[in-house]
């Protein structure tokens, strides 16, 4: 990794208001400026390593577990698995509901979206997450008590 002067993060974003520059200047004392620059360089190095790790392993980094294993363990994640979930911040639960039930919910949601075209979702150009908080399928899904035990 090069020096901070030669290696920079290139982000496309709007220029922030002057108040943010003023805030940064009020937080960083002039005598600590070099320490902040060095700290940022260390942060970029750690982030780059994590990005490389994610690029190498991809979706395999998201921990997966069969819901029946959790049920058998009184609703508790196995300790080693729980630490992995804690590190990654997410989990894929398999077999929470039957495929038949999931297909029925999906069909119901698609029908609901067709009947309510203004419902909206994210991203707007091709929604993957819909605002379906009160549809029948969503209510059935969110009211299942045994999934909420953990």
At 66 the three-state DSSP class reads: strand
Q: Which residues of the chain carry a pLDDT beneath 50?
A: 1-7, 146, 150
Q: Is position 9 within any domain?
A: no
Q: Which helix (H) or strand (E) holds 141?
A: helix 136-142
> What is the reported pLDDT for 11?
55
| Domain identity same for 85 and 47 | no
| Domain identity same for 103 and 88 | no
> What is the reported pLDDT for 142?
80
A 10 A CB-CB count for 135 gives 20
| Domain identity same for 106 and 122 | yes
> What is the reported pLDDT for 147?
54
Domain assignment of residue 27, given as a range = 18-59
Q: Compute the Cα dihedral for 77, 81, 83, 87 and give only its sign.
A: negative
| Domain identity same for 102 and 91 | no
**Which tens digit of pLDDT belongs to each residue from 72-91?**
998 899 988 999 999 999 99
Could you give the CA distance from residue 95 to residue 82 in angstroms, rounded to a whole number?
Answer: 18
Contact 62, 90 (CB under 8 A): yes
């Amino acid at each position: 990794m090069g020096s901070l002067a030669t290696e920079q993060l290139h982000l496309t974003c709007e220029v922030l208001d002057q108040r943010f520059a003023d805030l940064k200047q009020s937080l960083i004392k002039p005598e600590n400026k070099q320490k902040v620059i060095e700290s940022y360089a260390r942060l970029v190095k750690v982030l780059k390593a994590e990005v490389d790790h994610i690029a190498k392993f991809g979706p395999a980094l998201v921990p997966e577990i069969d819901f029946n294993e959790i049920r058998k363990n009184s609703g508790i994640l196995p300790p080693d698995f729980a630490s992995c979930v804690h590190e990654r911040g997410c989990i894929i639960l398999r077999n929470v509901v039957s495929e038949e039930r999931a297909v029925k919910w999906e069909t119901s949601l698609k029908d609901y979206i067709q009947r309510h075209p203004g419902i909206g979702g994210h991203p707007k150009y091709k929604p993957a997450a819909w605002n379906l908080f009160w549809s029948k399928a969503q209510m059935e899904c969110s009211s299942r008590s045994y999934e909420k035990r953990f």
